[in-house]
Amino acid sequence: MSTNSQDRVEMFRTMVRIREFEERVKRTFAEHPGVIRGHTHLADGAEASIVGSIAAIRPGDQVMATYRCHGYPIALGTDTTAMLAEIYGRSNGLCGGYGGSMHLADPERGFLGTSGIVGQSIPQATGAAYAAQIRRAGDVVLCFFGDGASKQGAFHESLNIASLWKLPIVFVMENNSYSVSVRVEQEDANAAAGEPLATKAKAYSMPGVTIDGGDPDVVYETVAEAVSRARAGEGPTLVESLVYRLSAHGNSIAPPGVPLHYPEHEAVTVFGDVAEYEAAKRGDPVPRFRGALVTGGVLDAARADAIVAEAADEMQRAVDGALAGPEPEPADALRFVHA
Amino acid sequence: MAREITYIAAIMEGIHQEMSRDEDVLLIGQSVGGSPEDPFVAAFGPDRVRVTPISETAEIGMAAGAALAGKRPVVDCTMAEFLLVAMDQVVNEANRFHYMSGGRVTAPLVLKAGYGFTAGWAGQHTGSIYGMFMGVPGLKVALPSTPADAKGLMATAIRDDNPVLFLHHYLLTLETGDVPEGEHLVPFGQAAIVRPGTDVTLVATGWTVHRALEAAEELAADGVSVEVIDPRTIAPLDVDTVLASVERTGRLVLVDQATRHASVSAIIAAEVAEAGFASLRAPIVQVTALDAPIAYSKPMEDFVLPDVAKIVAGVRRAVDVTLPHDAATAVR
């Protein structure tokens, strides 16, 4: 399986749009202090993994993810103004200001939602795959989570059942080497032994593969094959997609009164490992894929610049539209408690 | 000697001093001991201070096992909601071992977790969920509202031979206050009268203690004398101090950041209605969070939470029962 030139340009466009969106979220902390509350987690660095994965599914398929959730809906076609308005807590937000950054959902596009608790969306995605199996329409579920979540019982219980029942699901573990500020070698037995985390798949008799999550072509090919297996009733796959988040785990965790901002990556702030972080920046998947497309003659530099400029314009409109959105009515807090 | 330090520093000082005093005290969790410069690792070494994977069931279950084997583990569980991932280990295991063994074993452990982060943390990281733990047999629950109590209750929790849930309020993290240096123990089951008064008894926990004090100050200007009580631990719960106060004031207002039917206030109201009915000169008033999850957006977040204005309105109603029952302070 491979993508054609037009698909690859669209993958690049979506990667750029996610990056521009996340840059605007980050800039909001400086340019509009107080507009974003609580905790916000960015996907910069994981664009190739997100876009390559979602390029491998079709309408009717579904996606569940974690609180680091801005990239998936963009790849699924969700309106970025509605997303940013949600992150700004406005009533024109994707979820009316009820959920915020950590709890985006867009069920019409197959994005069933997220959990703010590590690992807990994995059984939920497995349940969605169970529903897909008995719906018999050939739909597949993509379940995104981080390396840290694979230390949860929920992960192990879900992989066992998914394999046992041959559920149509692909588990995409975005391994960014850090559980917040703890390095993967400090908290994962496979990593400590020098083995890939995809080794865990063996325990549940499903294929496990470790790939370069910075290359959207590789991600697409791998996930597409896993999706085909799932659609054919052959069961789940664990894809360990190696990524590097280019921002800190989240913005600074501070009680009210303390200004919020994005600190530096934990490699620098906790471990003093500037070299690791600089190397990751040099491997940034967005310029890397642009280089591959330009070198390969798929995209010329002027067209690539135009894609970046269009994304910047779109995200400026998103910021403007989100800032212009009204705050919710206070008493609306009591809506939606029950369906 | 006391000096002014933050609430969070006081908690960590309490743990540090107990670890210095008793080498059986351990500290584990997802955010402790991970960095090369961690002060607890530096002081106590990697045998006693360990970073864990994100594995709550294993962290708390292992703490129970280590406690059975003679250690006194403190598990930094980060956020109260993360306890829910390991609910069996929190409410159905260590807390029952002493009883089920006919007193032959003990499981002394402390689960430290923050709660009530109503600062835009939305639906899954903001809950005031202490109410669901206060009726669990064998489990003690501390809710410090000041830096001094935070240190003293932590030290007591570590020395206690039972599992203790030590819940610190996130909005108090950087609040400062006088904290005694050296050994400082605050007994469990002993409420503090944080402001004496004669007209109304006002009971609050955690962050709402400070809102209650602000309300009392505002009401004092109008000649209403409010006594503010902080139970400090909700299991055990010092009902006697509340009853004695109500005997003097005849009026009771309860403030709680939890949703009404999962609140400490509902339990205290029931206790006072049963044992202190003769003292009451007005219906008990509860000022609780409304029955909804916490929204991300600030106007909706504010709407469901108790605040100074709602507390003042609740006290005024206790003083003058002809005032209307405010829907914002008493929604069922």
pLDDT digit string, tens, across residues B213-229? 999 999 999 999 999 99
CA–CA gap between residue B332 and residue B318 (Å, rounded): 18
Q: What is the pLDDT of residue B332?
A: 38
Report the residue of chain A nearest B115, measured CA to CA: A255
Q: What is the pLDDT of residue B87?
A: 95
Q: What is the pLDDT of residue A1?
A: 52
pLDDT at residue B328 is higher than 50: no
> Tell me, what CATH number does B92's domain have?
3.40.50.970
Does B39 contact A at CB distance below 8 Å? no
Residue where a domain stops, chosen among B180, B212, B240: B180
Query: If you ran DSSP here, which 8-state letter would residue A194 be given?
Result: T
Q: Which residue from A11, A5, A41, A61 is spatially nearest to A215, judged by alpha carbons? A: A11
Task: Tell me whether residue A33 is in a domain.
Answer: yes
Tell me the percentage of chain B whose pLDDT exceeds 70. Answer: 98
Q: What is the pLDDT of residue B205?
A: 97
Looking at the structure, tell me whether residues B216 and B116 fall in a common domain: no
Looking at the structure, tell me whether residues B105 and B154 fall in a common domain: yes
Total tally of structural domains belonging to chain A = 1
B125 is catalytic: yes
Of B34, B296, B304, the CB nearest to A99: B296
> Tell me, what CATH number does B197's domain have?
3.40.50.920
Which segments of chain A have a pLDDT < 70? 1-2
Task: Tell me whether residue B185 is in a domain.
Answer: no
Task: Tell me whether residue B76 is in a domain.
Answer: yes
Looking at the structure, tell me whether residues B206 and B306 fall in a common domain: yes
Q: What is the pLDDT of residue B325?
A: 66
ipTM given for this complex: 0.82
The residue with tokens 């408690």 is A337
Report the residue of chain A nearest B175, measured CA to CA: A255
Does A149 contact B at CB distance below 8 Å? yes
Q: Distance from first CA to last CA of chain B, Å, rounded?
A: 47
Q: Do A333 and B292 touch (CB under 8 A)?
A: yes
Q: Is B133 within 8 Å of B91 (Cβ atoms)?
A: yes
Phi, psi at B92, each rounded to 5°: -130, 5
Tell me the percentage of chain A whose pLDDT exceeds 90. Answer: 94
Identity of residue A316: Q
> Tell me, what CATH number does A190's domain have?
3.40.50.970
Residue where a domain stops, chosen among B131, B152, B180: B180
Of A39, A98, A154, the CB nearest to B295: A98
pLDDT at residue B36 is higher than 90: no
Does A165 contact B at CB distance below 8 Å? no
Of B34, B81, B300, the CB nearest to A117: B81
Residue where a domain stops, chosen among B111, B145, B180: B180
Pairing of strands B110-115, B72-79: parallel
State pLDDT tens for residues B104-152.
899 999 999 999 999 899 999 988 999 999 999 999 999 999 999 999 9
pLDDT at residue B321 is higher than 80: no
Q: Is A117 within 8 Å of B81 (Cβ atoms)?
A: yes
Domain span at A114? 5-322
Label residue B293 by pLDDT band (50, 70, 90): very high
Task: Tell me whether residue B332 is in a domain.
Answer: no
Q: Mean pLDDT, chain B, as a whole number?
A: 94
Total tally of structural domains belonging to chain B = 2
Looking at the structure, tell me whether residues B27 and B145 fall in a common domain: yes
Task: Tell me whether residue B186 is in a domain.
Answer: no
Q: What is the pLDDT of residue A287?
A: 98
Looking at the structure, tell me whether residues B168 and B243 fall in a common domain: no
Task: Tell me whether residue A198 is in a domain.
Answer: yes
Give chain A positions within 8 Å (CB) of B292. Answer: 333-334, 337
Domain span at B91? 2-180
Q: Retrieve residue A239's tokens.
A: 């894809």
Burial class of residue B116 (count of CB atoms within 10 Å of its CB; 0-12, 13-18, 19+)? buried
Query: If you ran DSSP here, which 8-state letter would residue A165 be given?
Result: T
pLDDT at residue B156 is higher than 60: yes
Q: Do A98 and B123 touch (CB under 8 A)?
A: yes
Looking at the structure, tell me whether residues B141 and B219 fall in a common domain: no
State pLDDT tens for residues A177-201.
999 999 999 999 999 999 999 999 9
Looking at the structure, tell me whether residues B15 and B114 fall in a common domain: yes
Task: Tell me whether residue A128 is in a domain.
Answer: yes
Q: Which residue from A66, A69, A251, A47 is spatially nearest to A148, judged by alpha carbons? A: A66
pLDDT at residue B318 is higher than 60: yes
Residue B99's alpha-carbon distances to A14, B137, B140, B185, in angstroms, are: 59, 9, 14, 26
Label residue B256 by pLDDT band (50, 70, 90): very high
Q: Do A89 and B297 touch (CB under 8 A)?
A: yes
Q: Is B265 within 8 Å of B252 (Cβ atoms)?
A: no
State pLDDT tens for residues B265-281.
999 999 999 999 999 99
The residue with tokens 């923050």 is B114
Q: What is the pLDDT of residue B327?
A: 47
Looking at the structure, tell me whether residues B199 and B130 fall in a common domain: no
A328/chain B closest Cα distance in angstroms? 7
Looking at the structure, tell me whether residues B122 and B101 fall in a common domain: yes
Q: Is B7 within 8 Å of B150 (Cβ atoms)?
A: yes
Q: What is the pLDDT of residue A260?
A: 87
pLDDT at residue B331 is higher than 50: no
Does B102 contact A at CB distance below 8 Å? no
Looking at the structure, tell me whether residues B55 and B199 fall in a common domain: no
CA–CA gap between residue B207 and residue B212 (Å, rounded): 9
The residue with tokens 């020098």 is A194
Does B82 contact A at CB distance below 8 Å? yes
CA–CA gap between residue B297 and residue B116 (Å, rounded): 15
Looking at the structure, tell me whether residues B166 and B199 fall in a common domain: no
pTM: 0.90
User: Annotated catalytic residue: which of B16, B98, B125, B169?
Assistant: B125
Looking at the structure, tell me whether residues B210 and B143 fall in a common domain: no
Of A39, A117, A333, the CB nearest to B85: A117
Task: Tell me whether residue A333 is in a domain.
Answer: no
Q: Retrieve residue A116's tokens.
A: 């703010």
For B236-242, what is the mean pLDDT?
Answer: 98
